[in-house]
A and B are shown apart, each in its own frame.
Chain A
Amino acid sequence: MNGTPIWPIEASRYAGRVDFLFGSLLLISVLTMGLVVFLLALFATKYRHSSKAIRDGSTIKTWRFEVAWTAVTLLVFVGLAVWGADLYLRLYNPPSDALQIFVVGKQWMWKAQHPGGQAEINELHVPAGQDIRLVLASQDVIHSFYVPALRIKQDVVPGRYETMWFRADRPGRYHLFCAEYCGTDHAHMGGWVTVMNPREYADWLRQQGGQQTLAMQGQTLFRRYGCSGCHNPGGTVRAPQLEGVFGSPVPLSDGSVVIADDRYVRDSILNPKGQVAAGYAPVMPTFAGQVSEDDLAKLVAYIESIGPTKAGGGR
């Protein structure tokens, strides 16, 4: 990490693919720039005012040139757009068996919560060679989770979950930045992503361990916030049972159907009247402003753990 770098570290195969696209664009740009500069220099010298070069106006048919360079430019650009889109689509299709980590951004720190209950601040430890899915939330303003070595970035907008995924292939310690301006200590809202060999990662988890898993912490909160009063069998109010719900389709009172993913669970806690399950009265009070993003992550993890596919699949 010492010295002056001119090219960023590639910590994943995906980073290599982004760099290949970047390098290709660089080549196209250098050629185009070279052509323009060469022609400018050539004409500026050959046809300077004092030169006696022949000017017989033999190349006047302008529309042929216009059509030619418009067509070539357009073709190259469309090709680049398609190439970029293809790579980008990958970011939108997380593999189903990814390890899921909740990350909360707040002025001015990142807090990560692992499924085993381990929590860390301004650090994120992940195993190499494994798909990682981050569920991101913000407690206050927009932040942006940015790891240059992985070539990935995602704005974290308050009021909703964002997700991103990656697979780091190369162990090491890489910068983690907040890339969206968020106030006084924006420049200090960051730390390190540590990519470890799976065995070291397992050791690391054990050293941190001794705590309850995220889902177990969520179960405690499920009782503390009084959710279990209605949502458990024999509750005082008729409310949907949540066993097996996660990841499955839920019919809503307006006739539509949603998949009960982490976003839906979170929204249902904060804005229960937004999407009411069919056949139930909209009687649940809102928990907006009462449950922090940290606790929401635990609750979501708990609901997920009592879903039909406990391994985290099915999404």
Chain B
Amino acid sequence: MSRPPNESYLSAKIGIRSWLLTTDHKRIALLYFAAITGFFAIGGFAATLIRYELITPGPTLGSPDFYNRLFTMHGVIMVWFFLIPSIPATMGNFIIPLMIGARDLAFPRLNLLSWYLFVIGGLITLTALLLGGLDTGWTFYEPYSTFYATGYVILAITGIVVAGFSSILTGLNFIVTIHKLRAPGMTWYRLPVFVWSTYATSLILVLATPVLAMTLLMLIAERVLGVGIFSPQLGGDPILFQHMFWFYSHPAVYIMILPSMGVISEIVPVFARKQLFGYTFVVWCSIAIAAIGFLVWGHHMFVAGQALYASLAFSFLSYLVAVPSAIKVFNWTATLHEGWIRFDAPMLYAFGFIGLFTMGGLTGLFLAALPIDVHVTDTYFVVAHFHYIMVGGAVMGYFAGLHYWWPKITGRRYPEYWARFAAILAFFGFNLTFFPQFILGYLGMPRRYQSYPPEFQVWHVLSSAGASILAVGYALPLFYFLWSILKGERAPANPWQATGLEWTSRSPPPPNNFDVTPTVVRPPYQYQRGDPCPQVDSD
């Protein structure tokens, strides 16, 4: 085939059909980008309203029911339609084949089907929310969801189940791709850490998501057909629902954070111009987190009435799962030692990630301590903790990766100073939003309260002030990325002087990624006194 020398995956075909029927992993990644950016905006809008509502101790914007529907919407959208797919479906889709020297994922058409399932699921749930929403909270606890909830519970759940199949298929696709499509010489220990962590994430997606689907289908069976499973009124057990729900939803946290850890493990060596410290430990820590992460779900239920010995075991295992995370933080820090460190926007986001993730991890230790959890579970302490992990961690990682791979994805540079400004703004806005919530939580402020005792107001006002700064920090990239697409400087193939295979391909890459299948000759992240030694020898 003769192709023009500068043809990219963006210019190879044109027209709406060429996008909606594409099987190119890079184009599907962009489809995901479009979809989840929309969901992030909706979830963020709900968050803005929540923070606005909480400025005063009484009702501000609307009725208690309005508020209950608001935080349900925020949780459902952010968890299932932004955080879960965020990094794997976008950057994972785009970069993994490029990183391992493949032309596409193992099942390109399945990949497209995954996107359609995601969008259909998203639209179903969105319909439920636009028709008036539901007031279950994103956790759908029983027997509330069966007998007492109002709104479009069934519709919203159906959307989540459909989108769940997208997760399962994407995970399956990644696992097969990483096993079967690695280029010659790309041994397991030469895989970039991002590939390892996506692999670990995929294992969770494939093993945990079916349990969520089953649980939610049982909920539907109970609400619609009156089959007694979870509600004591029908002879069911509400605690069973919690066990099944958290069996998915705790590992889901690792679905969100592991890909981010992978991104950070890519960025830190590149901008420190130095080999990643303790590569083997970092990759096995990802696998360990995925494995132990399946055994800690009961720490959501220390006051729910589960057995005493279950609580003791889950507390211990929760401490255990924190060890590999701590090891990763130490390894990223040690990587900086004797480096040639640059402070471009991806690195600033990475620094932000390390700081905020460490905060989130350390406060996780408080929650794993049984008597402290008894006091602070279901308070703002928990809210702050998981936002440090999911927003401070996962979303910071998402933005870090987005800036890092932006030149590869679009072929354009983004405005560096604006990007650094946005990274710093988001970091400070984030801390001002969520740090006061730790204090609120230890003082005893329960979550999911529209009204609260007046002595808590100062902390809520601080938090809302921070949220407005954070919102600007998240909105800025939207503008300068758009500007970059239209007017940004053309990016070279390897703007960061990195070592991975994805940087040997053009920016933006050609439709089939590599004109010649690359042969990998060395491990990733090799630098000789700050100069890159690529994984592939040129010529």
Contact = CB atoms under 8 A, between A and B. Distances in A.
Interface stretch (A182-190, A205-213, A242-250, A298-306): A182-190
Interface of B is mostly: helix
Contacts of B359: 33
A29 B365 CA distance: 9
Given A59-B337, A158-B143, A158-B238, A84 B369 contact: yes
Interface stretch (A44-52, A220-228, A276-284): A44-52
A194 to B, nearest CB: 16
A81 B458 contact: no
A153 to B, nearest CB: 5
A73 B368 CA distance: 15
Interface string A164-183: 00000000000101111111
Given A5-B455, A22-B366, A36 B358 contact: yes
Contacts of A7: 442-443
Interface residues of B, number: 86
Interface stretch (B201-209, B317-325, B400-408, B412-420): B317-325
A57 B315 CA distance: 40
B203 to A, nearest CB: 23
A234 to B, nearest CB: 35
Interface stretch (A62-70, A97-105, A109-117, A254-262): A62-70
B341 A44 contact: yes
Contacts of A59: 337-338
Contact of A187 (B308, B319, B365, B449): B449
A158 B273 CA distance: 59
Contacts of B237: 159
In this complex, the interface size class of chain A, counting residues with CB under 8 Å from chain B, is 35 or more
A235 B209 CA distance: 56
Contact of B446 (A6, A28, A157, A179): A179
Interface stretch (B9-17, B40-48, B117-125, B371-379): B371-379
Contact of A142 (B238, B341, B458): B238
B529 A39 contact: no
B108 interface: no
Contacts of A80: 319, 365, 368-369
A62 B370 CA distance: 35
A3 interface: yes
B326 interface: yes
Given A85-B370, A181-B448, A57 B362 contact: no
A36 B329 contact: yes
Contacts of A2: 455
B444 A146 contact: yes
Contacts of B379: 179
B492 interface: no
A8 B444 contact: yes
Given A49-B342, A179-B447, 8 more contacts: A22-B366, A32-B358, A85-B312, A107-B148, A160-B232, A180-B141, A182-B144, A187-B64
Closest 7 CB pairs of A and B: A148-B444, A159-B232, A88-B370, A84-B369, A43-B336, A77-B319, A187-B449
11 contacts: A29-B362, A39-B333, A47-B336, A48-B340, A91-B371, A91-B374, A153-B374, A158-B143, A178-B446, A184-B135, A186-B449
